[in-house]
Amino acid sequence: MMLRFRSHPKNVTPAAPSPAHDDRDATTGLCTEDDEVRGLSDLYSPEPTSQSQVRDVADILLELEKITDEQYGRLRRELMGRPGMDPGTWLLKEGLVGSDDVLHAKAKLSGLEFRHISPQEVDRRALEKLDLEFIQRSNIVPVAIEDDELLVATSEPANIFALEDVKRQTGMEVRVVICSPDDIMAVCDSLHEETVDCNLDDIISDMTEVEVVQDQEDDSEDLEKMAGQSPVIKFVNYLISNAVREGASDIHIEPKEKQTRIRYRIDGVLFDAMQAPLKMHPAIVSRIKIMANLDISERRLPQDGKVSAIVGSRAIDLRISTLPTNRGEKTVIRVLDSKSIARGLEHVGMEPDVCQAFAEQVALPHGILLVTGPTGSGKSTTLYSALCEMDGDKLNISTVEDPVEYELDFCNQVHVNDKVGLTFAAALRSLLRQDPDVIMIGEIRDNETARIAVQAALTGHLVLSTLHTNDAATSVTRLVNIGIDPYLIAASLNAAVAQRLVRKICPKCREIYQVPDNQRRYLERAGVNVKELVHGAGCDACRGSGYVGRVGIFEMIVIDDRFREIINQDSSVASMRRAFHESGRDTLFDDGIKKVAKGITTIEEVLRVTEVYGRSEDEVFVENLE
């Protein structure tokens, strides 16, 4: 269906007044005062059949039974105090509907069709009608050419000017359907892949023809020239773009005896990606250094840098780290995708009760909220997701990080620089004079940082930070070991969350399997039906691993009056773990077992991240209690 405009009717003659209402004064023939008021009222009052509320997305969602009458009423009350706010945006923010539900309602409201668009069903002849930059900017993608009409999909049907621009550029009649923004992004990514896709064998073949001098230590000029040559640039670009497509979090470039080994870390596990000629290793490292503004002549000391890049339609931040080894410089590129923190707390893997308790802690006006776990367990992502839930327009949100991993527009971020004296403690002292409401500290590492964080929490600020501990209960003991008095911890600490990341079962090769006997006891003790458990058999989509993606498992300790009393009396590890066990909350192992029962992950994964010397943390803890 085409979008069409219809003008208001013209030359409409008002109806003559009814004689029954002609109550003029019998002697003067003039209207009385009451008649004048009534006449004005009749003139401006709406017709009995007209609606005072314009039909919008909320009405459609109510008709589709996506929201209840109570939720509809609450929405209307909220919108009365927020004129101009989109009802769909409010419903999404409250988590009452999904994005597809809102788009479906918008499509029905506009009389259009809503459907999902995949890159495979897009006609290349249609795509050639518009360039990639315009598609990304306007969120309109050509899908097909049908009967001299151009079928386009958009996630913004109200953008009439963009649709008119499509008609002008193509010279064709345009038919519109509505799709999700993710569908448009997938098509753009596929287009970008085609523009950068190249034959890796051809690139490596071209690289081997480049003359490389490795024996001279001060050959920085040759290295810079060589790093700027087309084959090297293409190879590095291919490494990065391919890593983003594969969903890798890190790229390891390692010089070995006969070749350069390149590995991707995907879902927490390293995979061999490709190999490159060893003689090209200096040129590859130099190219990466040039991108990060590092010193290509310095090959004896470690260096760190940062690169911002556009891969497909996504903005990607790259963290570069070089380290001298006996065979050359090893380089690691960490890929930071801001898309991973924009999904919200409900998507990180928290169970509903934990998610609600965590959201309540984030909404508190003051105190300390800690997220604990080893390196690479997703602590920073959880804190960033919590910050994204806050109202940056009404709150002064500031962060102190080393380094700043994701750039957020709604808060002020400080990058720690020890070389010039800008430590965590120094930044925090200055930050407290900036009238902050919420402070996020990248990590509490020492006594001074912990002391300032406690003081900030006690003086009316909400402090979010990470800590390296094995579980939530030992966070208190860790702070005591750093040098914070127990009574200060009891007064300032609100909650602590421990987390790990487990791999999710691949949806394309999941199947029911026979659980090994050595794992059956864990599951039977938790009351899980072992006959219905699934795992990934291994396929091309998951590289034979049986897993795709990761999800978090969590345990949370909320510091109430009983915990505060225990902290003041005995803050040892055994005491805190006993108190946590008596609180009845799920441990990391318990939360993992719930996800095993739901078919999200496997018992092997849960044991892998919670196992201690061949036994789970849960078993060790129970033994300690006994």
Render 198-232 in DSSP notation, one character per residue. --HHHHHHHHHTS----S-TT-HHHHHHHHTSHHH
Pull the structure tokens for residue 224: 């810079």
Peptide bond into 282 cis (omega under 30): no
Question: What pLDDT is recorded for position 169?
Answer: 87
Q: Which residue has the higher pLDDT, 476 or 88?
A: 476
Q: Within 13 Å and on the Cβ side, how many CA atoms surround 532?
A: 8
CB-CB contact of 492 with 454 (8 Å) = yes
Beta bridge pairs of residue 463 = 368, 439
Which residue type does 17 have? P
What average pLDDT score do residues 576-605 get? Answer: 89
Alpha-carbon span 531 to 518, nearest angstrom: 15
Alpha-carbon span 323 to 65, nearest angstrom: 58
H-type helices in 53-97, by residue range? 57-63, 69-80, 87-94
Pairing of strands 438-441, 547-558: unpaired
Q: Which residue has the higher pLDDT, 42 or 165?
A: 165
Alpha-carbon span 607 to 351, nearest angstrom: 19
Pairing of strands 113-114, 173-178: parallel
10 Å CB burial of residue 563 (0-12, 13-18, 19+) is buried
What average pLDDT score do residues 364-381 get? Answer: 90
Position 194 confidence tier, pLDDT thresholds 50, 70, 90: low
pLDDT tens, position by position, 518-562: 777 777 777 787 777 888 988 888 888 899 888 899 999 999 999
Residue 329 has pLDDT above 90, yes or no: yes
Alpha-carbon span 9 to 534, nearest angstrom: 64
What average pLDDT score do residues 62-89 get? Answer: 81
pTM: 0.66
Question: What pLDDT is recorded for position 457?
Answer: 93
Residue 67 has pLDDT above 90, yes or no: no
Torsion of the alpha carbons at 101, 104, 109 and 110, rounded to the nearest 10: 150
Identify the CA nearest to 302 among candidates 330, 282, 336, 262: 330
Alpha-carbon span 535 to 197, nearest angstrom: 33
Q: Which residue has the higher pLDDT, 31 or 605?
A: 605
Contacts of residue 316, Cβ cutoff 8 Å, sequence gap at least 6 = 240, 244, 308, 309, 310, 335, 336, 337
pLDDT tens, position by position, 250-261: 999 999 988 999
Question: What pLDDT is recorded for position 441?
Answer: 92
Alpha-carbon span 386 to 341, nearest angstrom: 9
Residue 218 has pLDDT above 70, yes or no: no
Alpha-carbon span 275 to 272, nearest angstrom: 8
Residue 61 has pLDDT above 90, yes or no: no
Which residue type does 584 have? G
Say which residue the tokens 């359907």 belong to. Answer: 177
CB-CB contact of 208 with 275 (8 Å) = no
Element (H, E) at 308: strand 303-311
Contacts of residue 154, Cβ cutoff 8 Å, sequence gap at least 6 = 138, 139, 140, 141, 162, 163, 176, 177, 178, 179, 184
Pull the structure tokens for residue 211: 């003359």
Question: What pLDDT is recorded for position 553?
Answer: 93
Peptide bond into 324 cis (omega under 30): no
Question: What pLDDT is recorded for position 185?
Answer: 80
pLDDT tens, position by position, 420-454: 888 888 889 898 899 999 999 988 988 999 999 99
pLDDT above 70 coverage of the chain, percent: 81
Alpha-carbon span 616 to 380, nearest angstrom: 25
CB-CB contact of 280 with 232 (8 Å) = yes
Say which residue the tokens 């990180």 belong to. Answer: 348
pLDDT tens, position by position, 141-176: 888 888 788 888 888 887 888 888 888 888 888 888
Residue 516 has pLDDT above 90, yes or no: no
Contacts of residue 215, Cβ cutoff 8 Å, sequence gap at least 6 = none
**Three-state DSSP string of 88-117:** HHHHHHHCCCCHHHHHHHHHHHHCCEECCC
Alpha-carbon span 93 to 90, nearest angstrom: 5
Identify the weakest region by mean pLDDT among 53-62, 185-194, 488-497. 185-194
What average pLDDT score do residues 479-500 get? Answer: 94
Distances (CA, A) of 296 to 223, 229, 233, 323: 8, 15, 15, 13
Alpha-carbon span 362 to 342, nearest angstrom: 16
Pull the structure tokens for residue 298: 């310095």
What are the backbone dihedrals phi and psi of residue 561, each rounded to the nearest 5 degrees, phi first?
-65, -35
DSSP 24: B
User: What is the CA angle 210-216-217, rounded to 5?
Assistant: 115
